[in-house]
Amino acid sequence: MKYFLIAGEASGDLHGANLMKALKAEDSHAEFNYFGGDKMQAQGGQLEKHYREMAFMGFTEVVLNLSTIARNLKFCKAAITAWQPDVVVLIDFPGFNLKIASFAKTKGFKVCYYISPKVWAWNQKRVLKIKQTVDKMFCILPFEVDFYKKWGMEVSYVGNPLLDEIAAFKANGKFRAENQIGQEKIVALLPGSRKQEIERLLPAMLTVVQDYPDYIFAVAAAPTFSSDYYEQIIGNKRVKIVFNDTYNLLNVAHAALVASGTATLETALFNVPQVVVYKGGTISILIARMLVNIKFISLVNLIMDKRVVTELIQEDCSAIEIKKELGMIVEGKGRTIMLENYQDLREIMGKPGASEATARLIYKFTK
């Protein structure tokens, strides 16, 4: 069968690649066209557009790039129409993919959505539109099943693809030596992968380095930026830069400062106590505070439905607060309690196999 997949970010590229691999195991005649990235391209098929041309962060950035987004939508619709797939598979990236869902449904294509839009966070009435345009929804967060049920929509919880990634991870025993890190305890810094995130969050994270002289700090660097870029931000501080090896860094980390997003869940699944930080553009934050109606921003707290990790947002993301909260988790009762909550989190999340489960359901629905 012919599958048209759309992923618009680095995380979607990863999950899309794993889904393609699983679909090939289910369907020996699988053919792929897609919007995605290098990881999806490595699985074969035709890459129509790279996510580098599509990912914009925040309300302000989206507004400034409306013309580019409009061109991408037009190109995507034309590519779907020309290829005539058996099913369109949308992967996260809701601002773009929900528009494609409406188009595809109108044109008579089957529509599957893998990794639900965060409609539970704001403008929940979007579920009504999803019910009209999406045939099958596959969720990766346990609480989403009950959320959709309240709106009269049956969805499938397939597990979380991060569990698959972590289960497949093989630790590098030479990681410390290769990165010139001794046996000191490590504080991992995960400031995100977008330029806006890094330049807002990394300087704030670095303010605490001098307060922990017995610890090594290491930045999980995004591969799209150079060492020089990070060194200009870090300056002369005693900080390591680690490229393309976040899981090995988390595997040996004692604690972490983490940008809000998927990385907060990854950090928890690696059993690393963390402080979650977030800073956005002033206008974007003002709009978000008016629209967003959730108690937490980190996936850990959202899944657990309680405050497990501290979230330092906007003005709270300061040197004083980061120092205080990091001190609570490097040792003592705060660290113990967080690790106990992580155990409960893993039980709620379930077992690996999200890609395989989703592929089976898509293939069964489509054939």
C-alpha–C-alpha distance, residues 331 and 143, integer Å = 31
**Average confidence (pLDDT) over 10-22:** 92
pLDDT of the residue at 261: 86
Give the pLDDT confidence of 121-168 residue by residue, as tens digits.
777 888 999 999 999 999 999 999 999 999 999 999 999 999 998 999
336 and 205 both lie in a single domain:
yes
Give ∠ CA 265-266-268 in degrees, rounded to 5.
65
pLDDT of the residue at 61: 53
Which residues, at least 6 apart from 296, have a Cβ–Cβ distance to it below 8 Å? 302, 307, 311
Q: Is residue 196 part of a domain?
A: yes
82 and 20 both lie in a single domain:
yes
191 and 135 both lie in a single domain:
no
Q: 144-176 b/e with 16+ CB inside 10 Å = b?
A: bbebbeebeeebebbbbbbbbbbeeeeeeeebb
- Domain range enclosing 100: 2-159+351-366
Place of tokens 């003592």: 332
Three-state secondary-structure class, residue 135:
coil
Q: How many domains does the chain have?
A: 2
356 and 344 both lie in a single domain:
no
On the question of pLDDT at 11 being above 90, the answer is no
Q: Is residue 141 part of a domain?
A: yes
DSSP notation for 283-331: HHHHHHHHH---S-SSHHHHHHTS--SEEEEGGG-SHHHHHHHHHHHSS
Give the pLDDT confidence of 81-111 residue by residue, as tens digits.
999 999 999 999 998 999 999 999 999 999 9
Q: What's the pTM value of the predicted model, to 2 decimals?
A: 0.81
Rg over alpha carbons for the chain, rounded to the nearest Å, is 21
Q: Is residue 165 part of a domain?
A: no
C-alpha–C-alpha distance, residues 313 and 65, integer Å = 26
Question: How confident is residue 290, by pLDDT bands cut at 50, 70 and 90?
Answer: very low
On the question of pLDDT at 272 being above 90, the answer is yes
266 and 284 both lie in a single domain:
yes
Tell which phi-psi region holds residue 350, choosing left (phi > 0), alpha (psi between -120 and 50) or beta: left
Q: Is residue 169 part of a domain?
A: no
| CB 92, CB 11: distance < 8 Å | yes
On the question of pLDDT at 287 being above 60, the answer is no
* Tokens found for residue 189: 């810094």
**Average confidence (pLDDT) over 10-32:** 95
Q: Is residue 337 part of a domain?
A: yes
* Closest to 22 in 3D by CA, of 348, 266, 352: 352
**Average confidence (pLDDT) over 168-182:** 94
Q: Is residue 190 part of a domain?
A: yes
243 and 219 both lie in a single domain:
yes
Q: Is residue 206 part of a domain?
A: yes
146 and 181 both lie in a single domain:
no
**CATH number for position 109:** 3.40.50.2000
54 and 128 both lie in a single domain:
yes
344 and 356 both lie in a single domain:
no
Question: How confident is residue 238, by pLDDT bands cut at 50, 70 and 90?
Answer: confident
Q: Provide, rounded to the nearest whole percent, the portion of the chain with pLDDT above 70.
A: 92
C-alpha–C-alpha distance, residues 295 and 121, integer Å = 9
Q: H or E element: which one contains 91?
A: strand 87-91
Q: Is residue 191 part of a domain?
A: yes
| CB 133, CB 98: distance < 8 Å | yes
C-alpha–C-alpha distance, residues 234 and 231, integer Å = 5
186 and 284 both lie in a single domain:
yes
The more confident residue out of 68 and 291 is 68
321 and 182 both lie in a single domain:
yes
* Closest to 299 in 3D by CA, of 327, 282, 278, 324: 278
342 and 360 both lie in a single domain:
no
